[in-house]
Copies of this chain bind each other. A is one copy, B any other.
Amino acid sequence: MSKEITSREQDYSQWYNDLIIKGGLADYTAVRGCMVIKPYGFALWENMRDVLDKMFKDTGHQNAYFPLFVPKSLFEAEEKNAEGFAKECAVVTHYRLKTDPNNKGKLIVDPEAKLEEELVVRPTSEAIIWSTYKGWIQSYRDLPILINQWANVVRWEMRTRLFLRTAEFLWQEGHTAHATKKEAIEEAEKMLEVYADFAENYMAMPVIMGIKSPNERFAGAEETYCIEALMQDGKALQAGTSHFLGQNFAKAFDVKFSDKENKLDYVWATSWGVSTRLIGALVMAHSDDDGLILPPRIAPLQVVIVPIYKGDEQKGMIDNKVNVIIKELKDLGIRVKYDDNENSRPGWKFAQYEMQGVPVRIAIGARDLENNVVEVARRDTKAKTSVSIDGIAFYVKELLLEIQLHIYNKAKEYQQAHITPANTWDEFVDLLDNKTGFISAHWDGTPETEEKIKELTKATIRCIPLNNTLEDGKCILTGNPSTQRVLFARAY
């Protein structure tokens, strides 16, 4: 099974696709740029969603649901936002099909059913949400509004890749309304920290928290905060963003509130989101040439048990023992499956679960039973150990924690080894081509320079790290004065 996966060295991009398809996470569909998230991939997304959802609720947010469609006149109200997304909007123009009079059994769009106003399929929901908030906000007593939405959105991308860039994707989008600028900025920063916490402690994926340069800012935002992760090919991936939107949307939709002194002011806003793109990041951050490596805390299956036996008698004895072990594991909250499917050999199963990144595999045979042991294999290091059945559940619980930590530490070491300072242009280009990763370099702060660097090298400013050290220097490209280094990288 694992032989079918293209190696990273051979073709990194094909390796990624192989993992997604053969690991059973997703599949292509008949709809251009749209994927199906298969049960195994969706179970992973559910685990990620449930953790995030709890984090949002613990920080005072509530879920709600707003319409899929945005009437064009609302969509264009905040001009920068509209301009940023106009080029990738799916547009509903008609509300009925009818039988094709020239072609029995076929349908055509009914020209009589043209909408008076076209509807944009939401690429993001600021417009529809702020047009709704207008009806909900009169006074400071109505604030803050702390709402999150789990939804599908559509952005008509020309080049799509499973999870990383699909025309339709699933995400959550928080949309909050505040009485003061300070409170809104604090909210945007708080949610960035929630994302970083989630990425590091659940996805085992180290990230750098920072601020985007104006070129890379969300359309309609005053400030975009981001977390940036590093993939194994040395390219960066934006894993989540949190935006301070100022009063831009409040002004576009005329949303004012009266404060305690009865003065009217526009409402302050944030929005923040992560998407199924995170699954792409997760896959690329940890996996190897034999398949997926999933961190135990969010893995759909944490443990798989495979019996090795000849004949019904051995099978019966193994079953009895396994039932006890499964109960013990479940009592500790561990997600476990017993795969005694008779149609596949153990070796095939081993390869299959390796491919799917199940963190721990337990094999149990007749001789193991005699010795009261099982063979425990961890997916991350491939190490195998013979472990006593007595206390096996606690052993596995500890092992899952250790695997989680080990996956994180490995990724963290890789990240740390791939943040490299560059002080000359030649050095910068050489590092980008030959070492890859984040390059820490001085930049003169102008959009023109950033644009020029992108043209020349395909590298962009991933972020200006939060709490960045100030340091006088000269821009890597222009030699103009600079006060701090920023992080460049080629990126997904």
A interface list, Cβ under 8 A from B: 27, 29-31, 34-39, 42-43, 45-46, 62-72, 74-76, 79, 82-83, 86-99, 105-107, 109, 118-121, 128, 131-132, 135-136, 141, 147, 151-152, 154, 156, 168, 170, 343
A127 to B: closest C-beta gap in Å: 9
Contact B107 A68 (CB under 8 A): no
Which residues does chain B contribute within 8 Å of A87, judged by CB atoms? 96-98
Question: Which residues of B lie under 8 Å from residue A82 when comparing CB positions?
Answer: 97, 107
CA distance A127 to B62 in the complex (A): 34
In the complex, the answer to whether B90 meets A107 with C-beta atoms within 8 Å is no
Question: B63 to A46, Cβ gap below 8 A?
Answer: yes
Q: Are B69 and A31 in contact (CB under 8 A)?
A: yes
Task: Please tell me how many copies of the chain the complex holds.
Answer: 2
Q: Are A119 and B72 in contact (CB under 8 A)?
A: no
Interface pair A31/B168, CB less than 8 Å apart: no
Q: Could you tell me if A343 and B93 are in contact, using CB atoms closer than 8 angstroms? A: no
Given contacts A68-B152, A82-B97, A152-B152, 13 further A-B contacts (CB under 8 A): A27-B136, A30-B128, A34-B69, A36-B67, A45-B65, A69-B168, A72-B97, A79-B105, A88-B95, A90-B92, A91-B93, A92-B92, A92-B121
Give A300's nearest chain B residue, CB to CB. Answer: B62
- Give the complex CA separation of A62 and B67 in angstroms: 26
Interchain CA distance A141-B344 in the complex, whole Å = 12
Residue of B whose beta carbon sits closest to that of A66: B36
Q: Judge whether B86 and A65 touch: CB under 8 Å.
A: no
How many Å lie between the Cα of A335 and that of B411 in the bound state? 40
Contact A31 B119 (CB under 8 A): yes
**Closest CB in chain B relative to A376 CB, distance in Å:** 27
Question: Which residue of B74, B90, B132 is within 8 Å of A36 (Cβ)?
Answer: B132
Question: Of B66, B91, B97, which one neighbours A86 at CB under 8 angstroms?
Answer: B97
